Amino acid sequence: MNPSAVFSLDPLSASKAATLASDFALPVIDASSIASGSSKEQLRFYQSHLSGPSSLVFLLNSEALQLALVDDGGVLAIRANFHDAGLSYRREKGGGRSEMIAKAVGLKGNKTPAVIDATAGLGVDAFVLASMDCRVTMLERVPAVYALLQDGLERSRAYASQNDPKLESILKRMLLLHNDAGQYLIQLKEADYPDVVFLDPMFPERRKSAAVKKEMQIFHKLIGPDGDADQILGAALAVAMDRVVVKRPRIAPQLSGREPSHVIEGKRNRYDVYLTR
């Protein structure tokens, strides 16, 4: 399912909404009159401009670009934001290099590997690695998700330049590219091979969608499962100088049925680590 409209929620976002609508060949709708209305009023307004029982739309105001799922159950929205309270707390109070993801990519001592995050999503894992001094290249092939990432990085960099020098240095270690991971990795020159390729492919949708966090609910509507995840793993293994790390739900099968070198397992997720040296 692709986004079907851009809703501009305030006059300050009108110009950017028009550009976004042009980029995606979508209608742009002025929703500033209901921006401060109740959730029910907003839902009725959105549905009056949409067809079908369920739609994905862009919501844009001066604070953020959001991708929202609109249906009879309400409005479910996601955004990319690298200076929100949750990530700030994790950066300042989290486990640092004792976190599972740090162990999975091989962060030890002063080692700061160059990482390609081949399935960037909303950029949280890339940000966590960059906050631990890794240089991270984020690949995202889905145009709508790339737009969220681009908006989130732009706004967080503007915030950091005025308020948070440490955050600014972290964001400088994050490079966003609009690329298909499989094609990008195959065409990569040897001089540009990363130390680590990080993969977090989509897992098939659970039957009980209420148990799935909102990010995944929207991604399942937008993207569906990653049918080429096995092929991307093969391309990643060919270029990673040290290892490939695959983040999976704890119960998920291994990609390609390939046995990892070792596994780091938590309560919900695990990291399958494939050493390549």
pLDDT in tens, 151-162: 999 999 999 999
- Residue 3 to residue 52: CA distance in whole angstroms: 13
DSSP assignment of 144-158, as one string?
Answer: HHHHHHHHHHHHHHH
Cβ-contact 136, 175 below 8 angstroms: yes
232: amino acid identity, one letter: I
d(CA 70, CA 54): 6
Strands ordered across the beta sheet of 135-139: 174-177, 135-139, 114-117, 196-199, 243-249, 269-275, 262-265
Pull the structure tokens for residue 216: 């995944």
pLDDT tens digit string along 18-59? 999 999 999 999 999 998 899 999 999 999 999 888 999 999
CB 107 within 8 A of CB 97: yes
Its pTM stands at: 0.91
End-to-end CA, the chain: 40
What does the alpha-carbon distance between residue 258 and residue 62 come to, in Å, rounded to a whole number?
46
Which CATH number is correct for 85-207+224-275, 3.30.70.260, 1.10.1060.10, 3.40.50.150, 3.60.20.10? Answer: 3.40.50.150
Average pLDDT across the chain, whole number: 91
From residue 226, alpha-carbon distances to 108, 127, 233, 268 in Å are 31, 22, 12, 20
Tokens representing 38?
A: 């109740």
The arithmetic mean of pLDDT across residues 173-185, rounded, is 96
Confidence of residue 209 (pLDDT cuts 50, 70, 90): very low
Q: How confident is the model at residue 208 (pLDDT cuts 50, 70, 90)?
A: very low
Average pLDDT over residues 88-97: 79
Give the domain ranges of the chain: 3-78, 85-207+224-275
- For residue 15, the SS3 value is helix
Give CA–CA dist 110/112, Å, rounded. Answer: 6
Give the integer Cα–Cα distance in Å for 147 and 118.
Answer: 16
Looking at the DSSP bridge assignments, the partners of residue 66 are: 59
Query: H-helix or E-strand containing 208?
Result: none
Percent composition of the chain: helix, strand, coil (DSSP 3-state, to 5): 45, 25, 35
pLDDT at 203: 66
- Tens of pLDDT along 216-261? 788 888 877 667 888 999 999 999 999 999 999 888 888 888 899 9
